[in-house]
Amino acid sequence: MTSLPPSTDKKLGLVIDLDTCVGCHACVVSCKEWNTGGYGAPLADIDPYGAEPMGAWLNRVHTYEVTPAEGPASVVHFPKSCLHCDDAPCVTVCPTGASYKRVEDGIVLVEEDLCIGCGLCAWACPYGAREMDPAENVMKKCTLCVDRIYNENIPQEDREPACVRTCPAKARHFGDLADPDSDVSRLVAERGGFDLMPEMGTKPVNQYLPPRPKTRPQASAASPAPETVEADGLLGWIDRALERLG
């Protein structure tokens, strides 16, 4: 079995704003595109336009309707990928050492050449964040675009995960959550960021920002009520309007 480092120099991860995410799936598509082109074993796409498509995705967006005890119902879009946990059970169950957590930045990765496709890490992950690639028969997961964030051959502004770079609503943020002065740490502190399923004891690095309470719009007393169109239809309304003008 694989051991976890006692600590890491950084805790690179994502902060996802559930109040801002619009569920457009741009992050899902950009993740697929980047990792299919840059991965050691490209992400599978089997019969993508057929009756039974199959493939591997590192990032997904789930959509839920939430009905609170008070206030109106709302829709919450919930992006999910690997959370790069401090106490990652997917690492400690790996029999070959293919799954490991990096000391320098805390990113959890899979060494594909060592993966035997046993699936133990997927069983151990409480978040369902790992996927077996049906073509390569190796486990795939979010890498935080490790081949992108350190790439000196691309502009500095592009050295962040593809999902963060492409999000049109700016709902995804990337940084070092071990640094209390980083932008992501301040955002978590200001908005009350939370762990996903803290009862599992995995200590996920990624954090979520809760949706803000929704309120029903209040009708303004100063606003005149819209004029009612009577049963005789649009032509009758036009006729009466013309009479008032005459």
**Rounded CA Rg of the chain:** 24
Q: Which tokens sit at 49?
A: 């336009």
The pLDDT assigned to 74 comes to: 87
Q: Per-residue pLDDT averaged across 50-55, rounded?
A: 90
Residue 226 pLDDT > 60: no
Q: Which amino acid is at 206?
A: N
Share of the chain above pLDDT 90, in %: 71
CA 219 to chain centroid, in Å, comes to 35
Task: Give the pLDDT mean for 104-116.
Answer: 95
- CATH 3.90.1150.10, domain 12-209, yes or no: no
Q: How far is CA 94 from the centre of its chain?
A: 25
Give the pLDDT mean for 163-187: 97
Per-residue pLDDT reduced to its tens digit, 7-36: 999 999 999 999 999 999 999 999 999 988
Whether the CB-CB separation of 187 and 209 falls below 8 Å is answered with yes
Residue ranges per structural domain of the chain: 12-209
- Given a cut of 80, whether residue 239 has pLDDT beyond it is no
